[in-house]
Amino acid sequence: MAVPEEGSVVETGDQAAPVGWVERTAFDYTAMAEAETAATWDGNARVYQWKDEYGDVGPAFEELEVELFGDPESRRDRQTGLDFSKIEQIEVIQEGPQRIEYIKTFADAGIHPVMLRNIELCGYEVPTPIQKFTIPAILQGYDVIGVAQTGSGKTAAYLIPILSKLMGKAKKLGAPRPNPARFQEGVDNVIAEPLVVVVVPTRELAVQIFNEARKLCYRSMLRPCVVYGGVPVREQGGLLSRGCDILIGTPGRLKDFIGRPEVLSLRRLKYMIIDEADEMLNDDWESELQAILSGAEQDVGNVYYGLFSATFPKAARDLAKKYLCDSHVRFRVGRAGSTTENIKQMIVEVSREGKNETLLTLLEEMNGVRTIIFVNSRQAADTLDDFLFNMKLPVTSIHSDRTQVEREAAMRAFRSGQAPILVATGVTARGIDVRNVMHVINYDLPSIEYGGIEEYTHRIGRTGRIGHRGVATSFFTERDEPLASVLTRTLLETNQDIPDFLQAYIPENWSSGTKVKFETESDFDPNDVAGAGEGCGDEGGGWNTADNVQGDSGGGWGNSGGNDANEAANASGGGWGADAAQPAAGAGW
Ligand code: AMP
């Protein structure tokens, strides 16, 4: 069911929803738990079925194409929804020892024709700023650090070049796999030997990346799989046993499989991506990460690494030092502050008792639109979900005490518009990318101890996704005083109105146009050369020949100081010519 147009008429009667909202749906969590064994997990979603007789490129399958990319009609609508003038303005700063010449279009990059077509089917017309840099960098064989958040297009920023590179070589590099048409469970099972592993902190993010990989692997031999907690290991093992080239997973479950050599081996691994690294390190996944980064027979000296993180704290730097090659490249995409200029942020002063009433008024004013409401505890999520449901609003909720079936059902209801209001705790909603979230409400602002301003920017980033506009409303109570100063500075940086009660926190020396400095920026030391060199893929020979490392000319990056991608992105004739873009000499496409 689509979310109705704002202000449209909704059925009346006893069960009528408040004006502008669709009818609520009751979610029977008990029934869901009972149905768990028969559940259709998100990780079971269909992937392209490759057959050996296809040669190099598989044929199109219309039905799957529609499932993956939407019908052609909706694809056209989707493309017009993006405001690329905004995206172009996002700043990318190159730091670290290597400089990369950026690409302006996907066609410039010398990527595999099947990948080019998949990008077109996704509706991606122009690379986002981070993609402009990571695509050539990865194609040229560099390890990459990207300080960027979900919403910047970072998933495709690493998947496009990696999968494109592998498409031409999948037959040579990939493990043998059973013919899907004749597969017999228990007879044809193989050990999964992925070429790529992507580690992410949350299940929802894992599923999201899996879905992006399903699209970008379309018509190729590359087979994506996803593993995460909450789903029986046996079921996921069954999927792996049909072969797996791209494995996406959460740390706990990946480690579990790494301990099962009869199911998973990393001996063919070529790329390891750690996504949302800061979050993972925060959450104490360190021992799991160690196992993932060194276990299952992987050839540690011959693996490329990509480290993506919203911030770059010491723990992430240490990880980079240990695994990334000296000659890695680093990009920092304008912090959330810059991207949130298309989010209108409002801070409303309320008493704790007044929150529910203010919330109802807000939902009445901005009715019928996809809305995420953040709270700080699982109990608060349950209570608020009940309250809104009793007010006949179409609400669902998600938090870490829910089973996987419940979490997936809630996300599906939210995405489809059946329950356009989602109550969530911050942790679960990390990285969620749902199109057209128009309104984010911080019913509870994050406390300084639990994420503070970083968590705030993550949360409001669920709206105003690439090129869309959104509204973020936050309830400010006397308990939120400790956040007031940094919150005010965030509002200033993003050109927002400062409410009266925060005026006192405007820095004395601030004048319009000043760039406010954030704590997180000082995390990133431009002179800190990460990489002890142990993990350099180009030293082991074979896979990464010297031929495909090029482009560190030091020149061509062009503008004064070489640091402002904005200028660079707008400069014409920036020198990344089509010829130069052919990534790996002799790579075979
Ligand atoms: P991510 O930062 O990876 O979560 O991506 C955010 C959203 O941007 C996802 O919905 C992607 O499908 C979308 N996206 C990624 N790259 C592009 C692009 N070049 N043009 C338009 N949308 C994109």
pLDDT value of residue 555? 24
Phi, psi of 131 (to 5 degrees): -65, -35
Hey, what are 460's tokens? 């409001």
| Residue 512: pLDDT over 70 | no
pLDDT for position 405: 80
Domain check: are 324 and 430 in the same one? no
Looking at the predicted structure, is the pLDDT value of residue 84 above 80? no
Query: Ligand 1 centroid vs 461 CA: distance in angstroms?
Result: 13
Tokens of 265: 């081996």
In a domain, 555, yes or no: no
Count of beta carbons in the 10 Å neighbourhood of residue 18: 16
The residue whose CB lies within 8 Å of the most ligand 1 atoms, and thus the one to mutate among 84, 160, 466, is 466
**CA 317 – ligand 1 centroid, Å:** 26
Tell whether 22 is covered by a domain: no
Inter-residue long-range contacts of 357-360, CB under 8 Å, 24+ positions, other chains counted: 358/475, 359/388, 359/441, 359/443, 359/475, 360/391
Q: Is residue 535 part of a domain?
A: no
Q: What is the DSSP string of 86-116?
A: HHHT--EEEESS---PPPSSTGGGT--HHHH
Residues 322 and 347 occupy one common structural domain: no
pLDDT score recorded for residue 340: 56
* 251 and 367 both lie in a single domain: no
Residue type at position 442: N
d(CA 554, CA 341): 33
Counting residues of the chain whose pLDDT is more than 90, the rounded percentage is 34
Q: Which atom of ligand 1 is nearest to the CA of 433?
A: 4
Nearest protein CA to atom 5 of ligand 1, as residue:
153
How many angstroms separate the alpha carbon of residue 155 from the centre of ligand 1? 7
CA distance 239 to 252: 18
The encoded tokens of residue 373 equal: 């409401």
- DSSP for 158-218, please give it: HHHHHHHHHHTTHHHHSPP---GGG--TTTS---B--SEEEE-S-HHHHHHHHHHHHHHTT
Which atom of ligand 1 is the closest one to the Cα of 125? 20
Distance 152 CA to ligand 1 centre (A): 7
Query: Side chain identity at 216, as an amino acid letter?
Result: L
Quick one: 377 and 451 in the same domain? yes
In a shared domain, residues 407 and 313: no
Q: Compute the distance between CA of residue 557 and CA of residue 468 in angstroms, rounded to an integer.
A: 30
Q: How far is the CA of 432 from the centre of ligand 1 (A)?
A: 12
Residue 105 pLDDT class (50, 70, 90 cuts): very high
Confidence of residue 465 (pLDDT cuts 50, 70, 90): low
Judge whether 531 lies within some domain.
no
Q: Flag the least confident range among 202-211, 291-300, 326-335, 499-508.
A: 326-335
Mean pLDDT of the residues in the chain: 77
Of 41-55, 96-110, 297-311, 330-344, the range with the lowest mean pLDDT is 330-344
Reported as type and span, the H/E element at residue 247 is strand 246-249
C-alpha–C-alpha distance, residues 190 and 420, integer Å: 42
Q: Which of 381-395, 475-489, 521-535, 548-562 has the lowest mean pLDDT?
A: 548-562
**Where is the domain boundary, 468, 484, 505?**
505
Domain edge (last residue) among 301, 333, 365: 333
pLDDT surpassing 70 at residue 109: yes
Across the range 258-272, mean pLDDT stands at: 94
Q: What is the mean predicted confidence (pLDDT) over 133-148?
A: 90
The pLDDT of residue 546 is above 60: no
Same-domain status, 310 and 370: no
In a domain, 232, yes or no: yes
Distance between first and last Cα of the chain: 44
Q: Which atom of ligand 1 is nearest to the CA of 148?
A: 2
Q: Report the C-alpha gap between 276 and 365 in whole angstroms.
A: 35
Mean pLDDT, rounded, for 161-189: 86
- Structure token pair of residue 249: 């997973």
**Residue minimizing CA distance to atom 13 of ligand 1:** 153
Is the same domain home to 329 and 470? no
Q: What is d(CA 54, CA 355) in angstroms, rounded to the nearest whole number?
A: 60
- Residue with tokens 């505890």, as numbered in its chain: 377
Lowest mean pLDDT among 263-277, 458-472, 491-505, 543-557: 543-557
Range of the domain at 490: 343-505
**CA pair distance 340, 227, nearest whole angstrom:** 32
Identify which of 158-172, 291-305, 336-350 has the greatest average pLDDT.
158-172
Q: Is 448's pLDDT higher than 50?
A: yes
Best residue for ligand 1 mutational test, from 128, 152, 207, 208 (most atoms within 8 Å of Cβ): 128
Measured distance CA(226)–CA(254) in Å, rounded: 9
Q: Which of 175, 189, 178 is nearest to 267 (CA)?
A: 175
Give the pair of three-digit tokens for residue 416. Answer: 């489809």
CATH assignment of the domain containing 119? 3.40.50.300
Question: Which run of H or E residues covers position 440?
Answer: strand 437-442
Q: 30-44, 48-62, 244-258, 432-446: lowest mean pLDDT where?
A: 30-44
User: For residue 551, is pLDDT > 60?
Assistant: no
Q: In whole angstroms, what is the distance from residue 320 CA to residue 554 CA?
A: 23
Q: Best substitution site from 155, 200, 205, 415 to test ligand 1's pocket, by max atoms within 8 Å of Cβ?
A: 155
Query: Over the stretch 184-220, which tens digit does the pLDDT of each residue have?
Result: 877 888 999 999 999 998 888 899 999 999 999 999 9
Query: Residues near ligand 1 with C-beta < 6 Å?
Result: 82, 124, 127-128, 131, 150-156, 433, 465-466
So what's the pLDDT on residue 234?
87
- Does residue 80 carry a pLDDT above 90? no
Mean per-residue pLDDT, 557-570: 29
What is the spatial distance between Cα 128 and Cα 106, in angstroms, rounded to a whole number? 10
Q: How close is the Cα of 102 to the center of ligand 1, in Å?
A: 18
Is residue 533 one of the residues assigned to a domain?
Answer: no
* Alpha carbon distance 8, 4 (integer Å): 6
Of 45-49, 318-322, 504-508, 578-582, the range with the lowest mean pLDDT is 578-582
Residues 319 and 298 in one domain: yes
| Average pLDDT rounded to a whole number, residues 542-546 | 30
User: Per the domain annotation, does 285 fall within a domain?
Assistant: yes
Answer yes or no: do 441 and 376 share one domain: yes
Our mutation pick for probing the ligand 1 site, out of 82, 103, 122, counting the most ligand atoms within 8 A of Cβ, is: 122
Q: What is the pLDDT of residue 500?
A: 94
pLDDT grade for 262, boundaries at 50, 70 and 90: very high
For ligand 1, atom 21, which residue shows the shortest CA distance? 124
At residue 406, the pLDDT reads 83
Contact 211, 234 (CB under 8 A): no
Give the number of residues written for the chain.
589
Going from the C-alpha of 306 to that of each of 50, 173, 232, 507, 530, the distances in angstroms are 27, 20, 29, 37, 13
pLDDT of residue 246: 97
Q: How far is the CA of 118 from the centre of ligand 1 (A)?
A: 13
Last residue of one domain, picked from the residues 478, 505, 532: 505
pLDDT at 545 over 60: no
Whole-number pLDDT of residue 348: 95
Pair (121, 223) in one structural domain = yes
Could you identify the atom of ligand 1 that is nearest to the CA of residue 122?
12
Listed ranges 4-13, 114-123, 323-332, 500-509; the one with the highest mean pLDDT: 114-123
Residue 92: the pLDDT is 81
pLDDT at residue 444, as a whole number: 96
Residue 140 within a domain: yes
Contact at 8 Å (CB) between 328 and 143? yes
> How many angstroms separate the alpha carbon of residue 508 from the centre of ligand 1?
39
pLDDT tens by residue, 358-413? 999 999 988 888 899 999 999 999 999 999 999 999 999 988 888 878 888 888 88
> Exposed, middle or buried by CB within 10 Å (0-12, 13-18, 19+), for 65?
middle
Output the CA 413–ligand 1 centroid distance in Å: 21
Strand partners, 14: none
One-letter-per-residue 3-state SS of 207-239: HHHHHHHHHHCCCCCCCEEEECCCCCHHHHHHH
**402 and 434 share one domain:** yes
Domains held by the chain: number: 2
Kindly give the number of the ligand 1 atom that is closest to the alpha carbon of 435. Answer: 10
The alpha carbon of 422 and the centre of ligand 1 are apart by a number of angstroms equal to 22
Q: Mark whether 501 and 364 lie in a shared domain.
A: yes
> What is the DSSP-derived secondary structure letter of residue 305?
E
- The predicted model gives 118-139 an average pLDDT of 91
